[in-house]
Every structure is written in structure tokens, then in C-alpha cells.
């Protein structure tokens, strides 16, 4: 009896764990896929037989699918998750990420300042994006992008339409560059390179910054230029600050709605004052609340803070980029002064 129960347990465990991994599937039996192939052939001049070959043997990416089939997580900023910022900060703003960021800046300073001269985006912010998105190129993702996007486009989940568009953009991209779509790897959502661009962003925002005739976001130069272009086209202004911490009465803040979706005239925010007396920004501000274990930390966010949220629609993400950028710049300057 004991052995029987043990065998049952092992079988159940095997079934549960296997559901997390990839398995092969022929998508040509799916009518939606057939229609999608016909669309690509008709509108984008794809070869039907090549597409049929690709879609006939796809590794379904269960771990990617699980993320988009689970109930949508609440935004950190919108939740009452005590200490959520402390946990987020500990994960993304550790000393090692700052040290590697200063090294990345030193290594790529010429390119970073070339991007600054052309697009007005400060080197430390470009560096911080690469630091958080791909850990300076060390973690660009091991998911097969084609299989991942097919999974998310045609297996039922809350973002099917979005991923169908991304799959089409990806296939057009690799066709243009004459690449094998099966050989490209990225994140669990199909993002690619140091900058973790989704395929649809390549055409709009990725650039050939070293003018070698190819856009290679797995290399520093094109990634730096593309991020700068992304910020520039989203409205970045080098002449204004990004954010500043403010004071308020009490330990928890609930007087106004917070987050990048809301803007306020500073004259209406009674009792809220910047801690930095030199902070100057006459336009409306966002109120950014960071939930710590014992209190709420409150900040003003400017238009530039909002621009960072166009890269990732998370208040915490944008604040992490801002604070990491400041720490990277500080350490880079410190190291530079030591060497002179």
C-alpha cells in the first residue's frame, strides 16, 4: 500500500512539473493559425511552405503561458502591500548592479555621450535601463522567441491579440534580416537584446547607431542608441529633473491618488514640499508613493519620470531606474576621481 501511494505521488508530481515545461505541437491544425499564415502570405509576401514548416513543430512555452493565464497581478503602487518597495529595491538596486553599471559606463562612455549629444538622454539613465532589463547583457533570456510568441498568440490568455501582433512583427523583422526565427532567443514574453525590445518596437524605435547596416540590440552600441531614441521619441527633456523626494504629515499617505496616471498642480498639494530646496519644475507633477514597512515614501515625478514609464508601465520600475541611474553616476564619478 505504501509503495502504491508513493508511486501515485511520483506520477502526480511528474504531471505537475511537466506542465511547466515546453512540449511540441503542430499548430497547422489550428484554424486561427491557418488564417494568420494566409494573412502573412497575402499582405507581407511570405512563402507559405516556409511558414507551414515553422508552425508545424512549435515548442509550447508553458512557463510563459502560465504568467499570462494567471489572474493579473495588481500594480505594486496600487496595492496595500506593506514593505513592497523595500523588497523591490533590495532586488533591483543592490551594490553589484551599481558597480557593473559604473563599469558599463566607463566601457561605453564615447557611445553614451554620442547618444546624449544626439538625443539628450543622460548616460546614466541609458545604463540603468540596460542594467535592469538585461543585467548589462548577462541575462538577455533563453526562451526561443518564435515558439514563445506562437504560444502566447494562439494559446488562450489575456493578451492574445497583443502577442499575435508581436509575432507578425517578429516574423517580418527576421525576414528582412534574413535570419532563422528558430535561432533567436529572448525573454519569457519575447523581448530581445540588452534593451529587451519587443519586436514591434524594432521598426519604430530601434536604430543602427554604428551605421554598419544592421540593427543589433544584442550589442552595446545599437542598444544604447535605441534606448536613447526610445526616450527621445517619448518626450524626454534633458533640461528638467526626473523626480525629487517630498515631505508630508504622517506615516502613511492617502490624501491624493498616486502613480503616473495622475498629475497635480503643486499649489493644490498643501502640506507637501520638496526636501531638495533647489528642485525647480513649474509644471504639474505626479505623486509617487513607495510603500515601505513602516511608512510611505513620497516623491514628485516630472514629465521625464512619466517617460520612463513608457518603457515599462510600472511606477516602481521607473523609480528603480531613476535611483539606479543616480547611484551609477555617483560611483562612476568617484572611480574617475580616484584614477586622476
Coil, helix or strand at residue 116: helix
Torsion over CA: 230, 231, 234, 237 (sign):
negative
State the catalytic residue, choosing from 133, 155, 166, 327. 133
Residues 6+ apart with CB under 8 A from 179: none
197 and 191 Cβ atoms separated by less than 8 Å:
yes
Going by C-alpha positions, the residue among 320, 301, 328, 166 that lies closest to residue 246 is 301
Please provide residue 144's backbone torsions phi and psi, each rounded to the nearest 5 degrees: -65, 115
Joined together, the cell numbers standing for residue 251 give: 506615516
Question: Is 133 annotated in the active site?
Answer: yes
Cα 277 to the center of its chain, rounded Å? 33
For 295, the grid coordinates are 511608512
Mind telling me the catalytic residues? 133
Amino acid at each position: 500500500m505504501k509503495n502504491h501511494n508513493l508511486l501515485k505521488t511520483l506520477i502526480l508530481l511528474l504531471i505537475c512539473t511537466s506542465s511547466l515545461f515546453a512540449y511540441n505541437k503542430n499548430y497547422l491544425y489550428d484554424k486561427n493559425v491557418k488564417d494568420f499564415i494566409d494573412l502573412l502570405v497575402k499582405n507581407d509576401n511570405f512563402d507559405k511552405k516556409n511558414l507551414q514548416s515553422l508552425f508545424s513543430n512549435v515548442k509550447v512555452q508553458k512557463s510563459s503561458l502560465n504568467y499570462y493565464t494567471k489572474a493579473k497581478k495588481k500594480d505594486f503602487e496600487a496595492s496595500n502591500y506593506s514593505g513592497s518597495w523595500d523588497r523591490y529595491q533590495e532586488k533591483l538596486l543592490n551594490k553589484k548592479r551599481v558597480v557593473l553599471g559604473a563599469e558599463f559606463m566607463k566601457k561605453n562612455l564615447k557611445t553614451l555621450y554620442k547618444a546624449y549629444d544626439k538625443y539628450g538622454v543622460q548616460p546614466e539613465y541609458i545604463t540603468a535601463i540596460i542594467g535592469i532589463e538585461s543585467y548589462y547583457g548577462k541575462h538577455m533570456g533563453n526562451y526561443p522567441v518564435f515558439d514563445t510568441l506562437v504560444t502566447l498568440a494562439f494559446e488562450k490568455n489575456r493578451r492574445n491579440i497583443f502577442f499575435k501582433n508581436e509575432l507578425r512583427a517578429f516574423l517580418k523583422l527576421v525576414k528582412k534580416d534574413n535570419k532563422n526565427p528558430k535561432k533567436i532567443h529572448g525573454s519569457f514574453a519575447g523581448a530581445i537584446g540588452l534593451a529587451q525590445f519587443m519586436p514591434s518596437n524594432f521598426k519604430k524605435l530601434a536604430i543602427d547607431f554604428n551605421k554598419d547596416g544592421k540593427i543589433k540590440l544584442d550589442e552595446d552600441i545599437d542598444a544604447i542608441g535605441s534606448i536613447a531614441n526610445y526616450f527621445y521619441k517619448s518626450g524626454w527633456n534633458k533640461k528638467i529633473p526626473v523626480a525629487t523626494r517630498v515631505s508630508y504629515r504622517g506615516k502613511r499617505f492617502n490624501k491624493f491618488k498616486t502613480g503616473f496616471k495622475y498629475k497635480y498642480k503643486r499649489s493644490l498639494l498643501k502640506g507637501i514640499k520638496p526636501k531638495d530646496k533647489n528642485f525647480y519644475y513649474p509644471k504639474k507633477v505626479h505623486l509617487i508613493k513607495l510603500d515601505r514597512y513602516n511608512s510611505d515614501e513620497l516623491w514628485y515625478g516630472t514629465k521625464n519620470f512619466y517617460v520612463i514609464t513608457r518603457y515599462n508601465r510600472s511606477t516602481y520600475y521607473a523609480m528603480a531606474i531613476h535611483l539606479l541611474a543616480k547611484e551609477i553616476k555617483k560611483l562612476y564619478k568617484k572611480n574617475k576621481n580616484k584614477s586622476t
